[in-house]
């Protein structure tokens, strides 16, 4: 029995074609903002509701974790609208909040939780949690299910350790970042250390091969994988073991991939193996109840430096299209209307991308009115540029009813450009967040806390154990640690085994033996029962009992307070993870933390200006976009200026940036810029000159202030204040204040954290749980 699916009316006819297509391969190619991601999301919903596909059999690959979350939320909403009547007899809008919650939780359990939606990395990590024990690498080594994921900074510090300590090389000549990059490239080409060495003609190459080999040894010893392995290992496992491949091939009958133009060879191999079950793809014909659906735009391919290859997109029909009638329309759908941007913005984007030679021309028609011109501003320097941007934001936010801080995005070419912008945003008391900048999970204290948790879960993770053994200082000196490490490596056992053996510790640790044993005892207690406790509880307990929190509290500096706040924010993150993923274990949280890229996704209700690089902005949209630093040498990047292929990639990046804007776009550049520690005169970007002048205007929509207004002067008389800046000062809050939060209920303020103009409070809620909140943003009311 089929039912009428109301939500299909939210789609145009080409999108409907893509969504309703059931089995076989289908490629959707279309320009920015044409509803590719929407089609992919609706297709998942349609597979389940119309074709009765079990959500367990659907695998959808997104580009970021955030996109995965949004996709699930969207599907949940569609289902709520669609299923409310059959669940309760009433339409969704007629339900009271309690009934709505019940419907949502039923939908979540039945349809959303069993779906596999995530990034390549997250999905592969999940597959490996089931099957990694059946994998063997080329040296016959194996891993177990509790493996740790070493993120990029872990991987780099491991390389650094090998270069400087194990091989005693000069780390200026063998810079850990570039060595790690070379290793990563070798891995992504499927080269083992031995194969890589054979391809290296000189000393440098052979030395890198040696580092690579030692690096792999270390990963194996620690029962750990790096980001490259997360994808490579499942591919190799599937190639090694037919039965395992057959299992996953049978499971994932319907596979969907967003942003397919940025897929690399290994990721492609993974998809191909899952789709065909190992049969040569051109010979694969068994499409009954099976589909592969990919969406992409070659004009937005911007990750070639990570080996992404848009010819994979171009080859899709050839790869999967055989065995079907020779008819393009059966395997490809084009979307030609842009729903996102004002016509002026879209015309500018279309005009720019036509300058690329290496592309297939396509149609992208506006559906919206022209809107305002694109504003262009030439600043004196980066300071002036930042002031201009912030002043425009303030002006627009004040004058337009609909503008929230979250409606603004500032996009730049390199992370370093965020600093002057951040300074002025802070001064102006405007809430903002940096996406993918200094990553939350890269901060020292957060890494320390995670290392404690990882050493519990994965006893072989010596790297994590070494991080925690004398953090906070507990009198275990370097010589003692070296003794223990050397003995462990002589015996070929993980460090933990040495520590867990009292006699060995007595022997090796000398005067520090007592301290070591105390540490071991602490860890053993947790190791005995972590599986029976909630992840959030273990995290808080171990950070308390290890003395870590006390140590930070006793330091009394602003920095220590900041660190403390981050540790509490991590607890919040775990709590939130548990709320979002019922039955989540500590292992699940650790996997998600290793794969997560920024704190901002974790904070609730954060309405703030987004700052990010152009690369991070892919797939997103904002009412108002500022594209800053349009200068020759910066954007396009200096390395690309003389290389036509790279220059085209920079132009695609600019196309991505422009097409993020819905209502208004601002383009800025500075006449001089201090970027790499020296001030240089700057020339405006060739991309600016490539835009049609009739779409540009340099008379900005608001009058210019000469200086950036301070928090006080900015509150001009009569201006609407949507925020409560006055609540955001330490004086207004006291420990002991009682508060009411719209989600968490009543609580007491237990800490006040302030640094510069930023402040936050820790609240212990009566219903259980502590949260760190920003009182200027959180939906919070003071009761006393």
Ligand X SMILES: Nc1ncnc2c1ncn2[C@@H]1O[C@H](COP(=O)(O)OP(=O)(O)OP(=O)(O)O)[C@@H](O)[C@H]1O
Residue ranges for the known binding site for ATP are 30-37
Indicate if the alpha-carbon torsion angle 112, 113, 119, 124 is positive or negative.
Answer: negative
* Interaction between residue 297 and ligand X (CB under 6 A): yes
Active-site pick, 221, 229, 259, 648: 259
Could you say which of 21, 38, 66, 218 contacts ligand X (CB under 6 A)? Answer: 38
651 is catalytic: no
In the bound state, the residue with its beta carbon closest to ligand X is 35
Q: Please give the annotated binding residues, written as ranges.
A: 30-37
Residue nearer to ligand X on the CB measure, 16 or 113 = 16
Whether residue 36 lies in the annotated active site: yes
Tell me which residue of 309, 408, 400, 407 sits closest to 358, measured CA to CA: 309
Q: How far is the CB of 702 from ligand X (least distance, A)?
A: 26
Q: Which stretch binds ligand X (CB under 6 A): 33-41, 379-387, 429-437, 768-776?
A: 33-41
Please tell me whether residue 350 binds ligand X under the rule CB under 6 A: no
339 binds ligand X (CB under 6 A): yes
Token pair, residue 423, equals: 């300074």
625, β-bridge pairs: 409, 665
C-beta of 66 vs 249, nearer to Mg ion: 66
Interaction with Mg ion in 341-380: which residues (CB under 5 A)? none
Parallel, antiparallel or unpaired: strands 254-257 and 291-296: parallel
| Segment lying near ligand X (by CB under 6 A), choices 28-36, 278-286, 388-396, 720-728 | 28-36
Closest CB to ligand X among residues 43, 563: 43
Is residue 224 near ligand X by the rule CB under 6 A?
no
Nearer to ligand X, 67 or 245 (CB): 67
Residue 373 or 619: the one with the smaller Cβ distance to Mg ion is: 619
C-alpha–C-alpha distance, residues 100 and 778, integer Å:
23
Contact positions with ligand X (CB under 6 A) in 612-631 = 619, 621
Decide if 292 contacts 97 (C-beta within 8 A).
no
Residues in 15-44 that interact with Mg ion by CB under 5 A: 36-37
Q: Which residue in the list 15, 36, 64, 413 is annotated as catalytic?
A: 36
Rounded least distance, CB 61 to Mg ion, Å:
12
Cα separation, 735 vs 757, in Å, equals 19
CB of residue 695 to Mg ion, shortest distance in Å: 24
Nearer to ligand X, 301 or 565 (CB): 301
Contact status, residue 556 vs residue 438, Cβ threshold 8 Å: no
Partner that binds at residue 549, options ligand X, Mg ion, none, CB closer than 5 to 8 Å by kind: none
Do you find a cis peptide bond into 307, omega within 30 degrees of 0? no
| 400 is an active site residue | no
If residue 670 lies in a helix (H) or strand (E), which one and from where to where?
strand 661-670
* E strand or H helix at 165: none
- Select 340 or 433, whichever has its Cβ closest to ligand X: 340
Per residue in 183-222, is it b (16+ CB within 10 Å) or e — as a string?
bbebbbeebbbeebbeeeeeeeeebbbbbbbbbbebbbbb
Pairwise CA distance, residues 64 & 597, whole Å:
9
From residue 293, how far is each of 265, 290, 473, 740 by CA, in Å? 17, 10, 54, 47
Catalytic residue, chosen from 258, 309, 403, 569, is 258
User: Cβ atoms within 10 A of the Cβ of 161, count?
Assistant: 17
Q: Is 671 a catalytic residue?
A: no
Q: Is 610 in the site for ligand X (CB under 6 A)?
A: no
Q: Is 142 helix (H, G, I), strand (E, B) or coil?
A: coil
Q: Does 35 bind ligand X (CB under 6 A)?
A: yes
Minimal distance, residue 426 CB to ligand X, in Å:
30
Tell me: does residue 619 bind Mg ion (CB under 5 A): yes
Cα separation of 383 and 432, whole Å?
17
CA atoms of 132 and 296, how far apart (whole Å): 31
* Contact positions with ligand X (CB under 6 A) in 630-689: 659
Look up 660 and say whether it is catalytic. Answer: yes
Does residue 311 carry a catalytic annotation? no
Report residue 692: phi and psi, to 5°.
-65, 130
List 62, 64, 300, 603, catalytic entry: 300
Residues in the chain, total: 784
Which of 14/417 has CB closer to ligand X? 14
Reply yes or no: is the peptide bond before residue 49 cis, omega within 30 of 0: no
| Segment interacting with ligand X, rule: CB under 6 A, options 10-18, 68-76, 377-385, 452-460 | 10-18
Q: How many CB atoms lie within 10 A of CB 523?
A: 22
Question: For 413, which DSSP code?
Answer: S
Three-class DSSP category at 61: strand
Residue 33 near ligand X by CB under 6 A: yes
Give the total of residues touching ligand X (CB under 6 A).
18
Residues making contact with ligand X (CB under 6 A) = 11-12, 15, 30, 32-38, 297, 300, 339-340, 619, 621, 659
Q: Catalytic residue numbers?
A: 36-37, 258-259, 300, 660
Residues making contact with Mg ion (CB under 5 A) = 36-37, 619
């Amino acid at each position: 029995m089929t039912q009428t699916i109301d939500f299909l009316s939210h789609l145009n006819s080409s999108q409907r074609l893509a969504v309703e297509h059931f089995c076989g391969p289908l490629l959707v190619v279309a320009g920015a903002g044409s509803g590719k991601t929407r089609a992919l999301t609706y297709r998942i919903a349609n597979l389940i509701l119309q074709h009765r596909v079990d959500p367990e059999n659907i695998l959808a690959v997104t580009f970021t974790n955030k996109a995965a979350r949004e996709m699930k939320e969207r599907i949940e909403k569609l289902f709520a609208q669609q299923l409310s009547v059959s669940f309760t007899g009433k339409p969704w809008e007629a339900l009271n909040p309690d009934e709505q919650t019940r419907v949502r939780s039923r939908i979540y359990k039945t349809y959303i939780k069993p779906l596999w939606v995530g990034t390549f990395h997250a999905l592969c990590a999940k597959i490996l949690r089931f099957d990694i024990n059946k994998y063997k690498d080329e040296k016959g080594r194996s891993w177990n299910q509790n493996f740790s994921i070493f993120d990029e900074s872990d991987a780099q510090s491991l390389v650094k350790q090998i270069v400087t300590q194990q091989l005693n090389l000069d780390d200026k000549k063998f810079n850990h970042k570039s060595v790690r990059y070379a290793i990563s490239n070798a891995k992504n080409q499927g080269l083992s250390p031995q194969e890589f060495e054979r391809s290296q003609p000189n000393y440098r190459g052979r030395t890198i091969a040696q580092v690579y080999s030692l690096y792999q040894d270390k990963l194996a010893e620690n029962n750990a994988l790096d980001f490259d392995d997360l994808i490579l290992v499942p591919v190799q496992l599937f190639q090694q073991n037919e039965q395992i491949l057959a299992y996953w091939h049978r499971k994932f009958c319907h596979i969907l991939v967003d942003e397919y133009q940025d897929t690399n060879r290994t990721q492609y191999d993974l998809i191909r193996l899952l789709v065909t079950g190992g049969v040569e793809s051109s010979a694969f014909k068994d499409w009954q109840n099976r589909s592969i659906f990919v969406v992409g735009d070659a004009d937005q391919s911007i990750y070639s430096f990570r080996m992404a290859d848009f010819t994979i997109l171009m080859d899709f029909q050839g790869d999967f299209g055989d065995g079907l009638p020779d008819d393009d329309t059966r395997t490809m759908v084009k979307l030609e209307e842009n729903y996102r941007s004002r016509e002026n913005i879209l015309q500018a984007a279309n005009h720019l991308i036509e300058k690329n030679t290496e592309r297939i021309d396509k149609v992208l028609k506006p559906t919206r009115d022209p809107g305002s011109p694109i504003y262009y501003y030439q600043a004196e320097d980066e300071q002036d540029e930042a002031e201009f941007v912030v002043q425009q934001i303030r002006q627009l936010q004040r004058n337009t009813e609909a503008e929230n801080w979250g409606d603004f995005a500032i996009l730049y070419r390199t992370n370093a450009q965020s600093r002057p912008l951040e300074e002025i945003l802070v001064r102006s008391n405007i809430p903002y967040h940096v996406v993918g900048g200094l990553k939350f999970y890269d901060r020292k204290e957060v890494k320390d806390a995670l290392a404690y948790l990882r050493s519990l879960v994965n006893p072989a993770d010596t790297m994590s154990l070494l991080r925690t053994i004398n953090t906070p200082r507990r009198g275990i000196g370097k010589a003692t640690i070296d003794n223990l490490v050397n003995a462990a490596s002589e015996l070929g056992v993980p460090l933990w085994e040495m520590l867990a053996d009292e006699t060995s510790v007595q022997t090796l640790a000398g005067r520090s033996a007592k301290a070591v044993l105390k540490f071991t005892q602490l860890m053993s207690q947790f190791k005995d029962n972590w599986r029976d406790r909630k992840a959030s509880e273990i995290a808080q307990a171990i950070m308390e009992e290890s003395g870590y929190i006390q140590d930070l509290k006793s330091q009394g500096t602003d920095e220590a307070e900041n660190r403390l706040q981050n540790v509490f924010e991590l607890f919040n993150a775990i709590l939130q993870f548990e709320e979002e993923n019922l039955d989540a274990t500590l292992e699940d949280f650790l996997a998600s933390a290793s794969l997560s890229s920024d704190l901002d996704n974790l904070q609730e209700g954060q309405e703030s200006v987004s700052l990010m690089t152009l690369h991070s902005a892919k797939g997103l949209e904002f009412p108002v976009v500022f594209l800053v630093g349009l200068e020759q040498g910066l954007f396009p990047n200096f390395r690309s200026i003389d290389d036509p292929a790279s220059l085209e990639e920079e132009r695609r990046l600019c196309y991505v940036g422009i097409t993020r804007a819905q209502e208004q776009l601002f383009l800025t550049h500075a006449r001089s810029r201090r970027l790499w520690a020296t001030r240089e005169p700057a020339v405006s970007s060739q991309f600016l000159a490539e835009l049609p002048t009739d779409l540009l205007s340099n008379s900005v929509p608001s009058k210019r202030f000469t200086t950036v207004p301070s928090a006080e002067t900015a509150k001009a008389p009569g201006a609407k204040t949507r925020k409560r800046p006055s609540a955001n000062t330490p004086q207004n809050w006291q420990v002991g204040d009682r508060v009411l939060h719209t989600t968490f209920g009543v609580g007491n303020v237990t800490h006040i954290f302030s640094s510069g103009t930023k402040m936050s409070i820790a609240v212990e809620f009566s219903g259980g749980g502590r949260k760190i909140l920003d009182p200027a943003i959180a939906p919070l009311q003071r009761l006393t």
